[in-house]
Each structure stands twice: as structure tokens, then as C-alpha cells.
Amino acid sequence: MRQDHLITATQLSRDDIEAVLDRARAVADDPAAYADRHAGRVLALCFFEPSTRTRMSFDSAAKRLGMNTVGMGDVDSSSVSKGESLSDTVRVIEGYADALVLRHPSEGAATLAAENVSVPVVNAGDGAGQHPSQTLLDLHTIRENHGLDDLTVGIMGDLKYGRTVHSLAAALTNFDANQHFISPESLRLPRSVRFDLHETGAQMREHTDLEDVIGELDVLYVTRIQKERFPDENEYHRVAGEYRIDAETLEDASEDLTVMHPLPRVDEIAPDVDETDHARYFEQAHNGIPVRMALLDTLMENAEAAEGMEVDR
Amino acid sequence: MSEHELRVSKIRDGTVIDHVEGGQALNVLAILGIDGSEGFGVSVGMNVPSDRLGRKDIVKVEERELSQSEVDVLSLIAPEATINIVRDFEVVEKNRVTRPDSVTGVLSCPNRNCITNADEPVDTRFDVVADGVRCDYCSTILRADIADHIDV
């Protein structure tokens, strides 16, 4: 990957993805070899909305590369609450760090941030937009379980606002993958994501009922349907119930089906699924470490090359 | 003498934007950033009869020759427009508008949650796609109602 930033999954080619995933595999095989790779470098964790696992995962990945991390603390107590623009905030933070990881509630925030700084920016979620580092670890999980070609993937839940869905769908177009999108009518993929899928000639179908396709799937990627997306709570409960899976739902599935979820889950995957061989969502979360190490390593390497620095390996 | 010539007289030097879809003349001026404060003579004819469009608008800006890149953005709301450059009452150049690759600082993003709607010091930027425009920041696609999102 020769990119300076990771902003959307649409920017990633098959080669980009495979290079990061190969490196992630190497990191997982021999983490000690990467331990001091970026010693003395600092990663800024700029989280403008709450996050536990993504922030901790980047924090841990950076430290395992020998980097230090700095965070902004609670947004309510930072200068953001005093009305400072994101453009100004990242320009200031750029002086404190060698790379930025950004989560922000507005779509396009990471694009704007990248335009204002010269250090690498990783989009760790921009509103209902994109979450491409999650996609890399999703793809790593799929690759380790099935490979990335000749693949049939079902993506279910909140496809309209689900940023992990938007990134995953875009990235899968690089591979020989059939994509099935399963959601209530009101939470179908947004026009912009469908546009990109059609532009790339992706093989895709949309469904309202998981039963229509479950037998065909190699991977079922489940996402949470959030209560706040529905004006009426009864309607939420009715819809959410239809997109909940349990061990019985999976009786019609292939033996090799992999069930994934970006987590946190609420009740869309029943605990009895955890006991089946299908469940891979905890493995998927753990893959965040080698994949984000590989990603940070790649971006730091690119930045150092761009600076023309001699890097001692 | 045709009806629109009676309504909007000839200009000595400047630009005539003709064959604008009826009702879009004020949007044309807005996109071009012309509000009268510049001191140019500006004449506007709205809903005048046209063989080609049925009804058309026509905009004449005196003492200013608009460049192709300035007028290309008009193709989003006035794809049939013709641009006539006038010198000493003669049309010396006649061009059609062509679709630009992108449009900066002209449209507002319809997505209220887009970072460009968050009081940031940034111009909006849209790529021109097959049948509309697409926000470079949040990817939202705007198709039918582009004129409603002119924000200059």
C-alpha cells in the first residue's frame, strides 16, 4: 500500500489489501520482530465519539510496535466543546504526533482531516460513512477461514447506517465474491454504496429475509440494528426480532459457515451461537491487533519513505 | 424584431448566456457569483418563448467575458445553455457548456451529517457522475434537485 492515509475502503485495491493482510499474518506469526519497529513515534488517538474496542485496539497495536500514544480525553472537556473546528484541532494535534487515528460523528470528517495535515490519518469511523480498518480485520478473518475468492457473503442488519457494512461491501468488490444484503426495507444500503457496487460490476442481491439465502453463504456478517433508527419503539422491537439469529437459525446453513459481527452485539446473535463452530466474532475482534499493527507499520513506513528518511531495519 | 430582443436589449461587450431552462436565470447568476454589487450591467429575461426549449431564460452580463471553466458549472442546471462572447455588439465566440469533472464551492451537501455542514472552514466539492453529482467528503449522491442545493 503506497497510500498516505486510510480514509475509505473504496481507495483500496486488491494488492493493497493483500499486502496488509500478508503483513498481518507475519505479525501474528512473530510479533517480537515488530516490537520496536516504530520506537519513539507517537500515535494520536482522536476519538470525538465514544469507543472502547477500536480505541483500545489501536492503542495496543501502536504500543506493540514500540510507539507511544496520546489521546484527547473526554470530548466534553476538550477544546472541541469550546467550538474549535475539526480542521484546527487536527492541525494542532499534528504537531504532537506522527500519525492520527480519527473517529468522528460526521461523515467525511477523515477526508477533511487528511486535507489539513501531512501525517498519516486513519479513519476509525466517520458517522455512517466508513470504517476501513475494521474491514481489513474482517477480511483477515474471512481469509484465514475461507480465503477471499469463490466466496458468498451475506451482510445483515443495519445496512443504511452501518459504516462497517459500507466499507466491507466496497472492499469485497476486489475479490470474486457474491454479496447478499439482508435488511428491513427501511435500512437498505444507501444509494452511494449501491452506486459503487454497480460501478465495479459487483455480484450483489438484496433480500429482506435471511432464510432466502442462508444455505448459500460461506460468511454471515451480522450488524446491530439500533433503536434510535426507529421513531417507534414497537416497530424497532418487531424489526430487530426478525434479524436476530440463534443456533436454530443456523441449522439450515452450511457446516462451514462463518458468523461474524463487528461487535458490540446486543441481542442480534443469541449466546447459543457462541457454542457452535460457526462463531468467529471474538477471533475477529482479536484480529484487530495484528491487522492494525500491519496497517500502522505500512503507513508509518510510507510516511518515512516520503520524508526520505533512512529507516534502520 | 423578436419578442425577447424587445425585452432585453443588445449589449456592446460582455457575455450572453442563452437557452437557460426557464426559471433558472437567478440560479445561473448565483452560481456565477454575480449579485449586482460588482457594478456590471446585468439583464435577465425569464420565461421568454423559445423554439428549442418552449420557454427559456436569458442572462446578459456587460463588460465581463466569462471563461469556459466559469460557465461549465452551469451545465448542472442549464445543460442546454449557450455562451456568447460579445465585443462591440458582435458575437465573436459561441460555445456550449460542457460538464466539468468536479464542482467546488457551489453546492451544499444534502446530507446534514456531512462534515461540510458542520461549520468547518471548507468549500464543498462534488464530483460530477453519470446523472448527478457526488460529495467528495461523504459520498452522498445528488441527482434530481441540484438547483435546490446551490449555496453561493
Is-same-fold flag (B12-94; B100-147)? Answer: no
Query: How confident is the model over B112-141, as pLDDT tens digits?
Result: 999 999 999 999 999 999 879 999 999 999
Q: Which of A141, A295, A160 has the alpha carbon at shortest distance from A221?
A: A141
Pairwise CB contact (< 8 Å): A108 & B137: yes
CA-based nearest residue to A156, from A179, A133, A135: A179
Say whether A87 and B138 touch across the interface (CB within 8 A): no
For an interface test with B, which of A87, A107, A123, A196 has the most B Cβ atoms less than 10 Å from its Cβ? A107
Complex prediction ipTM: 0.92
Rounded CA-CA distance B74/B63 in Å is: 20
Q: Is residue A311 within a helix (H) or strand (E), and if so which, with residue range?
A: none
**How far, in Å, CA of A62 to CA of B125, rounded?**
34
Residue with cell 504500543: A63
In the block, residue with C-alpha cell 503483513: A23
A182-207 mean pLDDT = 95
Domain residue limits, chain B:
12-94, 100-147
pLDDT, tens digit, 9 for 90 and up, residues A6-20 = 999 999 999 999 999
CA–CA separation, A111 vs A200, rounded Å?
A: 22
Q: Which CATH architecture has domain B100-147?
A: Roll (2.30)
What is the structure's pLDDT at A90?
A: 97
* Residue B119 at interface with chain A, using a CB cutoff of 8 Å: yes
B 133-152 residues with CB < 8 A to A: 134-141
Span of A216-220, A227-231, A234-238 with lowest mean pLDDT: A227-231
Class of domain B12-94: alpha beta
What's the confidence (pLDDT) of residue A66? 98
